Amino acid sequence: MSEKLQKVLARAGHGSRREMEAWIAAGRVSVDGEIAGLGDRVEADAKIRIDGRAVSLKSADDIVCRVLAYHKPEGEICSRKDPEGRTTVFERLPKVRDARWVAVGRLDINTSGLLLFTCDGELANRLMHPSNEVEREYAVRTFGEVPEVAVQRLRTGVTLEDGPAQFDSIKAAGGEGINQWWHVTLREGRNREVRRLWESQEVQVSRLIRVRYGQVELPKTLPRGGWIELPIDQVNYLRQLAGLEPETRSMLGTDKHSVARSKVKSAKIRRAVRKHKVGSNHGKPTRQRD
């Protein structure tokens, strides 16, 4: 049975469906020797190339859906490559065979915290779709006094340049001196929305950390620049949110070799964090460009 080309490529882990549509529109994809077009459908035995390179395709039954939780530091950008040479969120992720990691959404350069990656482009595409309003929670540190009337406006709604917006919840979380911590939630994923909401009340945000995506929380023991693979129950929670069938397999085993794999994974995290400290500009976040 034929399927849409962009769906097949996304499922096989070559990128999100949106990325694949852009590649097809740019003439980078060919099917059986002919340049592909948007809307093309392909059979399972089609010969597909991206930029002239043959790509491997897998059926849905051959693909194990994997998801990583990454603790993004400030100063990293959510792009695969950066012409300015800045560190990207993809540089310390583990290698994956015949596929690549796709980020589920984005965090701006000055925002840290939980960022999810998956090798299943269809899962990423569905989770990022505006209709799939997954609740996100952020820890926000503000600088200076925040009037109660400003907090009430953020609860009831304000008008930003791209339309009405509000926090679903906003709670004070302590602080010292003129620095105050808050926990806020919202279900939209508009660009820099959390910062822009606070800025609409002339409140300066000095730290912004995403601590939760749906029911997936940022592990308290996960260092900045480190990653951890999610167990199958959390993977299937995300697949349920996206309206996909549950996964039945996992790369995280429960046999006698699991301890060894866990040690290898911990070593990878330590190496990633060391590389981050040496090679990035952590501690000197760059101003976000709008």
Tell which residue, 256, 275, 278, 257, has the closest CA to residue 267. Answer: 275
Handedness of CA 250, 256, 257, 263 (dihedral sign): positive
User: Roughly how many angstroms between the first and final C-alpha of the chain, as a whole number?
Assistant: 44
- Which positions ≥6 away from 230 have C-beta within 8 Å? 67, 68, 69, 216, 238
Q: Is 108 a catalytic residue?
A: yes
Structure tokens at 248: 């039945």
Bridge partners of 142, per DSSP, are 180, 205
DSSP class of 60: G
Looking at residue 134, its amino acid is V
Bridge partners of 236, per DSSP, are none
Structure tokens at 144: 């200076």
Looking at residue 148, its amino acid is E
Tell which residue, 265, 206, 164, has the closest CA to residue 74. Answer: 206
Q: Is 190 helix (H, G, I), strand (E, B) or coil?
A: coil
Active-site annotation holder among 108, 162, 168, 255: 108
Instruction: Pinpoint the alpha helices (H) of 69-163.
Output: 121-128, 148-156
Bridge partners of 182, per DSSP, are 140, 172
- Which positions ≥6 away from 238 have C-beta within 8 Å? 67, 116, 118, 123, 127, 214, 216, 230
> For 158, what's the count of Cα atoms within 13 Å in the CB-facing half-sphere?
19
Which residues are designated catalytic?
Answer: 108
